[in-house]
Structure 1
Amino acid sequence: MSFCHSLSFCHCHADTDSERTGDGSLIELYRRMPPTGEPEQIDAVLTPRSSVLELGAGTGRIADPLARLGHRVTAVDDSDRMLAEVRHARTIRARIEELRLTERFDAVLLPTNLIHYRGADLRRAVLATVAHHLKPTGRAIIQWKPPAFWAARPAGWTESKKIGKATARVTIHRDLGRLVEGEYALMIDGSDMRQCFHLEVLTVADIRREFGNAGLRLLDRAPESTEWLQAVRARA
């Protein structure tokens, strides 16, 4: 997700005593967030022992399980404190839009709906990083939410769900058409951790255009029905 850069602009509760990264991300929430099947979903489309670059890896919720499954994973985040939680993947501290490694990868992951970053310039810079690091035969795997997902969740919508020993709650505070503001809360072991999110709704046409601008070609025939988009480098 794209989180607010200043907590004072959030419309959700913020625990200012909790340790956060520079963009407002709550470290403990990410550390304790239970698995919800993402590593297994990604592993299902990878070949064995793939080289994998995860952008915005946070505490390694996806990177570490993929590494344990036998993949060679490089986890990138701009927070040392987040990366300190990663145990099995190689770590690199960098901003996604500034990353330019000499290596190329079988798969580049852009999870947690980072494609919904507000602002076309930042989104295009992030996608340029994705394209830059793909092998000619590599595949980009990008998490997103289609417009129908947000249309079913107007301002005031809230939902709670049990995930193992935790309860996760999502609340939409403001729906401004293409802009959505809300809160993700995680309740576990007596702790109530909350994280703002500010997102931009993207259409399939937006996705195709932005991928094309980055030199990527969307593979999915029905992108509206999937959470994980797949793309390859477009032919020159």
Structure 2
Amino acid sequence: MTQSVVVQVGQCGNQVGCRFWDLALREHAHVNKKGLYDQALGSFFRNVDSSTCDGEAHSVGGRIQHLKARAVLVDMEEGVVNEILQGPLREMFDSTQLLTDVSGSGNNWAVGHMTYGSAYREQIVDTLRKAAEHCDCLQCFFLIHSMGGGTGSGLGTKVLSLLEEEFPEVCRIVTSIYPSAEDDVVTSPYNSILAMRELTEHADCVLPVENQSLVDIVKKIKHMSHGGKPGTVIRGESAIISGQGGAHWSREAF
């Protein structure tokens, strides 16, 4: 069985990443009614015994005990990561998976890439290695970041280069959120161009997403959930929009 590690960098990367973990749990809960730790969960989650001091991991096939996301969360501001740690999915992450600062990158690619990239290099590598050590057969890294912000674009692409340096044989798939045309951050075009060069150098696959398209999708889903055209209505308990399923699954199903 192969595993993947999700690396979330910056405010946007961690917000999108948190939504991924929530949706993954809720969708899996719809098909896994017996609460078994199967291969699908094993690809992105560890099943650990929280009653032991070392958090011994359980193999595939047994009952779900306590799921830990195969993830690394990086941000040079604490706000979004703190929100995750205080939210319904807080038990999926621990201190060994987190790396934060307090000042941010000031929407400056160079600050994120050069300043914080150099200052936190060893800590980032150590955190990535710990995540990789929990995998039996590491298949790929999924990096989620924005192109317009300083931390997402600058430190995000620095992390990408470190992944290539430390794990050259492991595939690197990047989801990059591009700023919309109405973006009010004056440096976002420059950050995007500088980050794009790094993506062409170090990524195996890039999945570009435009921020305004995400906003439009969210608006459309909200409209459909509140009685859109006949035949296009989304039920309130649907895994797409329900805000309760993931929290319930992560807290009580184990």
When normalised by structure 1's length, the TM-score is 0.39
Which of the pair has the greater relative contact order for Cα pairs under 8 Å at 6+ separation? 2
Structure with max Cα Rg? 2
The TM-score with structure 2 as length reference comes to 0.37
- The structure in which a higher percent of residues are helix is 2
Structure (1 or 2) with the greater strand fraction: 1
